[in-house]
Amino acid sequence: MKIVPASAADIAPVAALWHDGWHEAHAAIVPPELVALRVPAEFQDRTAAHIGQTHVGLIDGELVGFVTVEDDEIYQLFVAPAARGTGAARALIVHGEGLIAKHHDRAWLACTVGNSRAAHFYQKSGWTLAGEEDLLVETGDGPFPVRVWRYEKALK
């Protein structure tokens, strides 16, 4: 898998992957009010706003996942269903950790409480559960509180 910085041409496919992956992982574990806000246009706008911090994973030129890093946070990490189990998620999180390690000794990420599949992956990748907290997530209607598990990892 090749990992490269995302470009404007990646906005639509990243937004589609993010939308589908978010709904698969979160729709059953977050309030219905948040699910109603998570429409394709919102993911398109959010992807465009964060494209400069996003790197995409490509296999044979096809998008299979992405990681978005904001300061010391793995802000988003999603992998297409067809690429799960291939090592794509592991490569993307390691790539994100490397980007953060250039400026920080520790990284963190938020995992929605109840997203056990993701939590298991983070723990398997060396991340430690630091606690549970309410996080205000971005929406087109403004911040929305979501209960998350905070994971942290020492990078140096």
Q: How confident is the model over 81-116, as pLDDT tens digits?
A: 999 999 999 999 999 999 999 999 999 999 999 999
- Judge whether residue 156 has pLDDT over 90: no
Is the CB of residue 56 less than 8 Å from the CB of residue 3?
Answer: yes
Sign of CA dihedral 92, 141, 31, 27: negative
Please state the separation of Cα 139 from the chain's center in Å. Answer: 15
Dist CA 20 CA 3 (whole Å): 21
Beta bridge partners of 56: 4, 66
The SS3 assignment for 2 reads strand
- pLDDT over 90 (residue 149): yes
Residues 15 and 44: beta-carbon distance below 8 Å? yes
- Cβ atoms 59, 1 nearer than 8 A: yes
The pLDDT tens digits for 54-89 are 999 999 999 999 999 999 999 999 999 999 999 999
Confidence label for 17 from pLDDT (cuts 50, 70 and 90):
very high
Q: What is the pLDDT of residue 80?
A: 97
Q: Virtual CA dihedral for 138, 139, 143, 146, nearest 10 degrees?
A: -80
Amino acid at 95: H
- Report if pTM > 0.75: yes
Query: What domains, with CATH codes, occur in the chain?
Result: 2-154 (3.40.630.30)
